[in-house]
Amino acid sequence: MAAWTAACLFIVLFTTNPAYKALVLAAAIITLAAGAGLRRIRKLLFAVALVAAFAALLNFVSAHLGATVLFSLPATIPAIGGPFTLEALAFGLTGGVTIGAAILAAAPLSLLLSAHDVVDALPRAMSRSGAAIAASLNLVPAVGATFVQVSEAQRMRGWRPRGPRSWAEVVVPVVLTSVESSIQLAESMEARGFGSGTRTYVKPARMRGGDWLVTGAAAGAAILFGISTAAGWAAPWYAYPTLVPPQVDLRPLAACLLLCAPVLVWRARR
Amino acid sequence: MALRDVSLRIEGGLTVVAGHSGGGKSSLLRVFNGLVPHFHGGRISGRAEVGGHDILETPTRILARTVGFVFQDPELQTVYATVDREVAFGLENAAVPAAEIPARVEEALEEAGIGHLAGRPTSTLSGGERQRVALASALAVKPQLVVLDEPTSQLDPDGAALVLAAARRIAAQGRSVIVSEHRLHALMGAADQLVVVEDGAVAVIDPRGWRAPQFSAPPRHREQAGGDVICAGAAAAGFDGRPLLERIDLVVRSGEVVALMGPNGGGKTTLLRLLAGLLSPMAGTVERLPGRIAYLPQNPAALLHRPTVRDEVQFTIDRSGDHGEPGAILAELSLQHVAGRYPRDLSSGERQRAAVAAVLPGTPRLVLLDEPTRGMDAGARDALVRLIVRLRDGGSAIVVATHDAELRAAVADRVLTVAGGTVAPAAVEAARG
């Protein structure tokens, strides 16, 4: 998955061509939809759309460059006064697509993987730190549960929130309980020999056929796009001074389409 | 002094450690793997050895290859996200070659009787399953001694029975196993040695001479319950829009004790929270008479934050508007000797009693208790029974969620089973445990 994210980021940040950026964005959306389901990513898509729209709007109102003037505001208006151009709008939209694609390319790391999966993927040399992180991650949900338990228990004993000082009667037990839990976990790890010297490490996440397919496709996409750029097949695009449509070549296009490979694998695993 | 004049020799087979809460059992068990003094501090005079290692000179993390340890709380001894990796953790720490680890994990899972859990995410395990995974983790390093510190105190009867059966089986296979427990009847038939720890003194007793203590149920003073205190009609309760319990019809009257039984996760705590008003009904109604509600949550740590046990009781008295002083309930629960101590420094059984004392001063209209005997010894449970009976006779309506069949038999006027989304009268045999 890291390889796929890296390939997406490489292409979307490396090219200036909005056609390829849009393709990466599309690949990220359908991959996320296949892996996590449209319903789960709906809020994320909405947030990304808002961020992208804001980036486009910001460029449109602040960059008064380009030959195709859509309308003008008096130059005396600070910051936004001047001509509003089609080129600035197109450049802003391209920036929005870049931001959206980059966010969505990184999203599977949090949406489709648990923190434990990420820890498991750490290299062998970091296995001791990984074990400590994995153990502490187990305590995180307990803090929320403890807060609910403590606030309920205190409410039933007559506690009511009356100003910041009153919250000490909830926060103090939550903190104390969390610290106690950490100490008990440390005690159990000590009793199991953690920190006794050189340790071995069972690599848990063995690559399956599908994982190799995704990794291979991601590597292929990055390499093909790199070659395309070096060979001049992936032509750059400039919005200014006059807007022209981006040139599209089949070879970099194929590289972008390779980024859709996870759909085949992750859809089957859901 | 936590322990004094201890002379003890543990051979193979099953050794059961018994004794009152706060008597020193946990301290004794932690000496076996050096957590006392290396992790918890303290001083030891004399000599202590395990498997040929000098405990005072050998760090716990080294003794971990000789002594496997299973703690009370199944939630607080999990490191990894899957069962196989969890069992492999100790082997990794012992630097067992990675190629050998999968076979050792499989062997340990089979030895603990949980081969079917291989590959399961640890977050999906019940408490009983987690404890057996902890046991398998301890067994995987092939220790000479396995120590279990009240491993069933937080489990339902089924989970507890499976853990204790696994401990008995491992001992029968020739390994040295030490189990600390309050509910001794499940172990004593297989015990080779009984060690009793009372007030820091340790005595070895022939287990054949052991007799189960009789649970003394006080006489009933009130035969007829009074008016309705709480009434749930076709109520539903749950989380995130999904009902866990549906169509609950329940009336609890003044002077009545209703016991709730059922498996972990069946909805007993949810029902108590609904009755307490901490959850709003998703459907139907819950009506209650005005008056104080005393609620004991399952986790006593949720309550305790004052500098002393006495302050904890005073805190509730001050806010409830009741008159009284903490001494009465502290005496009732035999907590006078720890009244001035910080509640979180107490043993788990004493903490539980301190939490009971903290919620039950005065005369609450409605009393809701969630697993009140957790970690309690026989004497403390007797005291709790007397307290519940006094409150009942004083007119409180009482609902107790408990796995403890003896407590149900001693105090309950009615027993309800909470399971499968419903609340229904329990079968007589089930209620008796």
**Is B205 touching A (CB cutoff 8 A)?**
no
Please tell me which of the candidates B79, B88, B293 has its beta carbon nearest to residue A135. B79
DSSP secondary-structure letter at B422? E
Confidence of residue A11 (pLDDT cuts 50, 70, 90): very high
Domain boundary among B175, B209, B243: B209
Contact yes or no for B77 and A156 at CB 8 A? no
In one-letter notation, the amino acid at residue B235 is A
Q: Are residues A214 and A177 in the same domain?
A: no
Q: Which two tokens stand for residue A244?
A: 């022209």
Reduce the secondary structure of B284-311 to three states and give it as a string: EEEEECCCCEEEECCCHHHCCCCCCHHH
Matching residue, tokens 């399952």: B298
Q: Say what the pLDDT of residue A210 is.
A: 81
Q: Are residues A28 and A105 in the same domain?
A: yes
**Is B273 touching A (CB cutoff 8 A)?**
yes
| Spatial separation of the C-alpha atoms in residues B415 and A52, rounded to whole Å | 60
- Burial letters for A229-247: b for 16+ Cβ neighbours within 10 Å, e otherwise? beeebbbebebeeebeebe
Using the predicted structure, report yes or no on whether residue A92 has a pLDDT greater than 80. yes
Report how many domains make up chain B: 2
How far lies B331's CA from each of A222, B153, B384, in Å? 75, 25, 12
Contact yes or no for A192 and B301 at CB 8 A? no
| Spatial separation of the C-alpha atoms in residues B301 and B305, rounded to whole Å | 8
Task: Give the chain B residue whose CA is nearest to the CA of A198.
Answer: B95
Q: What is the pLDDT of residues B365-405, one digit of tens each?
A: 999 999 999 888 888 899 999 999 999 999 999 999 998 88
| Spatial separation of the C-alpha atoms in residues A249 and A267, rounded to whole Å | 29
Contact yes or no for B303 and A153 at CB 8 A? yes
A206 to chain B nearest CA, in Å? Answer: 13
Within 8 A of B119 by CB-CB distance, chain A residues are none
- Output the DSSP codes for B335-374: -GGGTTS-GGGS-HHHHHHHHHHHH-SS--SEEEEESTTT
Task: Map residue B242 onto helix, strand or coil.
Answer: strand
Contact yes or no for B79 and A180 at CB 8 A? no
DSSP secondary-structure letter at B44? -
Q: Are residues B164 and B129 in the same domain?
A: yes
Q: Is residue A197 part of a domain?
A: no
Q: How many inter-chain contacts (A to B, CB under 8 Å) are there? A: 155
Q: Is residue B5 part of a domain?
A: no
Q: Are residues A27 and A107 in the same domain?
A: yes
Using the predicted structure, report yes or no on whether residue A110 has a pLDDT greater than 90. no
Q: Is residue B183 part of a domain?
A: yes
Q: Is residue A46 part of a domain?
A: yes
> What phi and psi, each to the nearest 5 degrees, are found at residue B12?
-70, 175
Tell me if B21 sits within 8 A of B115, measured CB to CB: no
Q: Are residues B292 and B326 in the same domain?
A: yes
Confidence of residue A204 (pLDDT cuts 50, 70, 90): low
Q: Say what the pLDDT of residue A261 is.
A: 87
Contact yes or no for B92 and A201 at CB 8 A? yes
Confidence of residue A251 (pLDDT cuts 50, 70, 90): very high
Most B-contacting residue of A157, A169, A171, A185 (CB-CB within 10 A), to test interface: A157
Q: What is the pLDDT of residues B309-323, one digit of tens each?
A: 999 999 999 888 777
Q: Say what the pLDDT of residue B70 is.
A: 95
**Is the pLDDT higher at B296 or at A241?**
B296
Which segments within B57-199 are labelled E, that is strand? 67-70, 145-149, 176-180, 193-198
| Spatial separation of the C-alpha atoms in residues A78 and A87, rounded to whole Å | 21
> What phi and psi, each to the nearest 5 degrees, are found at residue B390?
-65, -45
Q: Is residue B247 part of a domain?
A: yes
Contact yes or no for A184 and B39 at CB 8 A? no
Contact yes or no for B302 and A173 at CB 8 A? yes
Q: Are residues B165 and B311 in the same domain?
A: no
Q: Are residues B109 and B234 in the same domain?
A: no
Give yes or no for a cis peptide into A241 (omega within 30° of 0).
Answer: yes
Please tell me which of the candidates B59, B76, B95 has its beta carbon nearest to residue A185. B76
Using the predicted structure, report yes or no on whether residue B126 has a pLDDT greater than 90. no
How far lies A188's CA from each of A27, A33, B135, in Å? 45, 40, 12
Q: Is residue B223 part of a domain?
A: no
Contact yes or no for B297 and A196 at CB 8 A? no
| Spatial separation of the C-alpha atoms in residues A168 and B305, rounded to whole Å | 10
Q: Are residues A6 and A54 in the same domain?
A: yes
B15's enclosing H/E stretch is strand B13-18
In one-letter notation, the amino acid at residue A130 is G
Mean pLDDT of A247-268: 86
Contact yes or no for B302 and A172 at CB 8 A? no
Q: Which of B131, B21, B19, B18 is nearest to B373 (CA)?
A: B21
Task: Map residue B144 onto helix, strand or coil.
Answer: coil
Q: Are residues B178 and B282 in the same domain?
A: no
Q: Say what the pLDDT of residue B433 is.
A: 56
Mean pLDDT of B318-339: 90
**Is B281 touching A (CB cutoff 8 A)?**
no
In one-letter notation, the amino acid at residue B383 is A
Mean pLDDT of B39-58: 91
Average pLDDT over chain B reads: 89
Q: Are residues B185 and B258 in the same domain?
A: no
B310 to chain A nearest CA, in Å? Answer: 15
| Spatial separation of the C-alpha atoms in residues B270 and B422, rounded to whole Å | 12
Contact yes or no for B39 and A185 at CB 8 A? no
Tell me if A44 sits within 8 A of A87, measured CB to CB: no
Domain boundary among A191, A225, A246: A191
Q: Is residue A203 part of a domain?
A: no
Within 8 A of B33 by CB-CB distance, chain A residues are 191
**Within the 315-344 window of chain B, which residues sit less than 8 Å (CB to CB) from chain A?**
315-316, 318-320, 344
Contact yes or no for A200 and B92 at CB 8 A? yes
Task: Give the chain A residue whose CA is nearest to the CA of B119.
Answer: A204
Q: Look up the domain containing B339 and give its range.
A: 228-432
Contact yes or no for B359 and A202 at CB 8 A? no
Using the predicted structure, report yes or no on whether residue B271 has a pLDDT greater than 90. yes
Q: What is the pLDDT of residues A119-133, one digit of tens each?
A: 777 777 777 888 888
Average pLDDT over chain A reads: 86
Q: Are residues A7 and A35 in the same domain?
A: yes
| Residues of chain B above pLDDT 70, percent | 95
Contact yes or no for A204 and B85 at CB 8 A? yes
Within 8 A of A180 by CB-CB distance, chain B residues are 301, 344
How far lies B58's CA from each of A36, A46, B33, B52, B71, in Å? 50, 58, 9, 11, 21
Tell me if B271 sits within 8 A of B278, measured CB to CB: no
Domain boundary among B160, B175, B209: B209
Task: Give the chain B residue whose CA is nearest to the CA of A171.
Answer: B305
Q: How far is the first Cα of chain A from the last one, in angstroms, to the nearest whole number?
A: 15
A177's enclosing H/E stretch is helix A168-191
Task: Give the chain A residue whose CA is nearest to the CA of B370.
Answer: A153
Q: Which two tokens stand for residue A19?
A: 């056609």
Q: Are residues A101 and A223 in the same domain?
A: yes
Most B-contacting residue of A174, A190, A206 (CB-CB within 10 A), to test interface: A190
Contact yes or no for A196 and B91 at CB 8 A? no
Q: Which residues contact B268 (CB under 8 A, 6 or more apart)?
A: B260, B261, B262, B370, B401, B418
- Output the DSSP codes for A231-260: HT-S-----SSS--PPP--HHHHHHHHHTT
Indicate if ipTM > 0.90: no
Q: Which residues contact A129 (CB under 8 A, 6 or more apart)?
A: A122
Q: Are residues A111 and A133 in the same domain?
A: no
Q: Are residues B184 and B233 in the same domain?
A: no
A170 to chain B nearest CA, in Å? Answer: 9
Domain boundary among B181, B209, B237: B209
Q: Are residues A27 and A114 in the same domain?
A: yes
In one-letter notation, the amino acid at residue A246 is P
- DSSP bridge pairs for B205: B194
A138 to chain B nearest CA, in Å? Answer: 7
The predicted model scores a pTM of 0.75
Q: Degrees (nearest 5) of the Cα angle B418, B424, B430?
A: 75
Q: Is residue A159 part of a domain?
A: yes
Q: Are residues A215 and A84 in the same domain?
A: yes
Task: Give the chain A residue whose CA is nearest to the CA of B92.
Answer: A200
Largest CA distance in chain B: 69
Give yes or no for a cis peptide into A108 (omega within 30° of 0).
Answer: no
Q: Is residue B218 part of a domain?
A: no
Q: Look up the domain containing A159 and give its range.
A: 123-191
Q: What is the pLDDT of residues B146-204, one digit of tens each?
A: 999 998 887 778 878 888 888 888 888 888 999 998 878 778 888 899 999 988 899 99
Q: Are residues B82 and B154 in the same domain?
A: yes
Q: Are residues B170 and B271 in the same domain?
A: no
For the ranges A52-66, A100-114, A186-200, B100-114, which has the lowest average pLDDT? A100-114
Q: Which two tokens stand for residue A115?
A: 């923190």
Q: Are residues A29 and A133 in the same domain?
A: no
Q: Count of H helices and E strands in chain B? A: 13, 17
Tell me if B147 sits within 8 A of B67, measured CB to CB: yes
Q: Is residue B249 part of a domain?
A: yes
Q: Are residues A136 and A241 in the same domain?
A: no
Mean pLDDT of B63-75: 92
Please tell me which of the candidates B69, B301, B315 has its beta carbon nearest to residue A191. B69
Q: Are residues B313 and B386 in the same domain?
A: yes
Task: Give the chain B residue whose CA is nearest to the CA of A193.
Answer: B61
Task: Give the chain B residue whose CA is nearest to the CA of A155.
Answer: B278
Q: Which of B300, B262, B223 is nearest to B405 (CA)?
A: B262
- DSSP bridge pairs for B227: none
Please tell me which of the candidates A172, A194, A202 has its beta carbon nearest to residue B61. A194
| Spatial separation of the C-alpha atoms in residues B366 and B290, rounded to whole Å | 9
Using the predicted structure, report yes or no on whether residue B209 has a pLDDT greater than 80. no
Among left, alpha and beta (phi > 0; psi -120 to 50; other), residue B321 is left
Report how many domains make up chain A: 2
DSSP secondary-structure letter at B214? P
Most B-contacting residue of A118, A122, A133, A156 (CB-CB within 10 A), to test interface: A156
Q: Which residues contact A53 (CB under 8 A, 6 or more apart)?
A: A96
Q: Are residues B115 and B204 in the same domain?
A: yes
Using the predicted structure, report yes or no on whether residue A270 has a pLDDT greater than 70. no
Give yes or no for a cis peptide into B37 (omega within 30° of 0).
Answer: yes
**Is the pLDDT higher at A206 or at B290?**
B290
Q: Say what the pLDDT of residue A240 is.
A: 87
Q: Say what the pLDDT of residue B420 is.
A: 87
Please tell me which of the candidates B60, B293, B301 has its beta carbon nearest to residue A177. B301
Q: Is residue A39 part of a domain?
A: yes
Query: Which of A161-165, B76-80, B103-107, B218-222 has the highest average model confidence (pLDDT)?
Result: B103-107
In one-letter notation, the amino acid at residue B232 is A
Most B-contacting residue of A152, A181, A192, A201 (CB-CB within 10 A), to test interface: A192
Q: Is residue A171 part of a domain?
A: yes
Mean pLDDT of B74-80: 87
Q: Is residue B403 part of a domain?
A: yes
Q: Are residues A220 and A235 in the same domain?
A: yes
Q: Is residue B1 part of a domain?
A: no
CATH of residue B90's domain is 3.40.50.300
When computed from its CA atoms, the radius of gyration of chain A, rounded to whole angstroms, is: 26
Q: Say what the pLDDT of residue B312 is.
A: 94
Task: Map residue A130 onto helix, strand or coil.
Answer: helix
When computed from its CA atoms, the radius of gyration of chain B, rounded to whole angstroms, is: 23
Within 8 A of B293 by CB-CB distance, chain A residues are 156
| Spatial separation of the C-alpha atoms in residues B265 and B245, rounded to whole Å | 11
Q: Are residues B319 and B292 in the same domain?
A: yes
Contact yes or no for B91 and A176 at CB 8 A? no
Using the predicted structure, report yes or no on whether residue B307 has a pLDDT greater than 90. yes
Tell me if B287 sits within 8 A of B237, measured CB to CB: no
